[in-house]
């Protein structure tokens, strides 16, 4: 797996955790308000633990014997699935030529993941397709839509933080991690990393120069600030200073 793929996996893990946490917010709120409580976590955990014993489908999960560790299994499975779907989303959106950080794409994907509870989880719990046979007072179909809408929102906001702003930085961390030290990173990659840092320093200098305090006073000039920033890069990476001369 190359560096870009590894960085996407790392970003997908972060986005998956954020999306799953955000997914849990409407679940708690709608449950407290009595709008939709959804399938109880221990039931899903009971299903997971049952699969480990070879039982994949239940006639009615509510009457199945309780098993130790149901809540923990439900929580672990919840986040593993959330992270896995986020990683698949990043790669799938890139393959399809769509921006994974797009609001419409993320929300659409979040709602699209409703197919898993509707056609897999609910029938396996004994509630039928779309949860039509489940306890009516829980509103599990309505809850699934609201929860997965929250998941899509979580992907959207988290990818706008992690993916758009910091993907280059994540790739650089992966490069160094794979190589062991910065000096061991291949020269073309080192040049790219240093050029990225140069652009970031220059951008900050331009912002400072354009500010009301950018001229006069004790504030250093833009060129002085840039030279200082570049010098910091050289001091931090002495073995590669010749690459940015």
77-135 pLDDT, tens per residue?
999 999 999 999 999 998 899 999 999 999 999 999 999 999 999 999 999 999 999 98
Whether residues 132 and 91 fall in one domain: yes
Whether this model's pTM surpasses 0.75? no
Whether residues 131 and 238 fall in one domain: no
* Count of structural domains within the chain: 2
Q: pLDDT band for position 74 (50/70/90)? A: very high
Whether residues 118 and 197 fall in one domain: no
Which of 107, 134, 167 finishes a domain? 167
Region of poorest pLDDT, from 13-27, 48-62, 178-192, 229-243? 229-243
Whether residues 50 and 156 fall in one domain: yes
pLDDT at 163 over 70: no
Asked whether residue 173 is domain-assigned, the answer is no
Q: pLDDT band for position 241 (50/70/90)? A: very low
Whether residues 131 and 222 fall in one domain: no
Alpha-carbon distance of 39 to 124, in angstroms, equals 12
Asked whether residue 176 is domain-assigned, the answer is no
Which of 138, 167, 196 finishes a domain? 167
Whether residues 147 and 216 fall in one domain: no
Whether residues 60 and 151 fall in one domain: yes
Listed in sequence order, the residues at least 6 apart from 62 whose beta carbon sits closer than 8 Å to its beta carbon are 43, 126, 135
Which of 113, 134, 167 finishes a domain? 167
Whether residues 52 and 131 fall in one domain: yes
Mean of pLDDT over the chain: 77
Higher per-residue confidence, 172 vs 60 = 60
Asked whether residue 105 is domain-assigned, the answer is yes
**How many residues appear in the chain?**
245
Whether residues 188 and 150 fall in one domain: no
Alpha-carbon distance of 118 to 162, in angstroms, equals 30
Whether residues 37 and 118 fall in one domain: yes
pLDDT at 242 over 50: no
CA distances (Å), origin 33, targets 20, 24, 27, 134, 213 = 20, 14, 10, 20, 51
Whether residues 52 and 83 fall in one domain: yes
Alpha-carbon distance of 202 to 46, in angstroms, equals 56
Whether residues 126 and 191 fall in one domain: no
Asked whether residue 172 is domain-assigned, the answer is no
108-122 pLDDT, tens per residue?
999 999 999 999 999
Instruction: Print the domain residue range for 91.
Output: 3-167
């Amino acid at each position: 797996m190359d560096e870009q793929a590894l960085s996407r996996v790392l970003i997908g893990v972060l986005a998956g955790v954020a999306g799953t946490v955000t997914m849990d917010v409407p679940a708690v709120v709608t449950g407290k308000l009595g709008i939709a409580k959804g399938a109880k976590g221990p039931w899903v955990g009971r299903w997971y633990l049952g699969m480990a014993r070879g039982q994949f489908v239940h006639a009615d999960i509510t009457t199945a014997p309780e098993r130790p560790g149901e809540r923990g299994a439900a929580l672990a499975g919840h986040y593993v699935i959330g992270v896995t779907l986020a990683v698949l989303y990043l790669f799938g959106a890139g393959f399809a030529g769509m921006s994974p950080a797009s609001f419409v794409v993320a929300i659409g994907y979040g709602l699209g993941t409703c197919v898993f509870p509707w056609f897999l989880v609910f029938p396996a719990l004994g509630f039928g397709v779309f949860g039509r046979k489940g306890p009516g007072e829980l509103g599990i179909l309505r809850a699934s839509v609201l929860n997965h809408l929250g998941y899509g929102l979580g992907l959207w906001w988290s990818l706008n933080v992690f993916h758009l702003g910091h993907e280059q930085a994540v790739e650089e961390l992966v490069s160094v991690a794979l190589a062991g030290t910065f000096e061991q990173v291949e020269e073309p990659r080192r040049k790219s990393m240093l050029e990225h840092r140069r652009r970031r320093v220059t951008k900050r200098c331009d912002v400072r120069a354009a500010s009301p305090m950018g001229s006069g006073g004790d504030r250093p000039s833009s060129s002085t600030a840039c030279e200082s920033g570049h010098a910091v890069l050289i001091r931090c990476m002495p073995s590669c200073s010749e690459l940015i001369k």
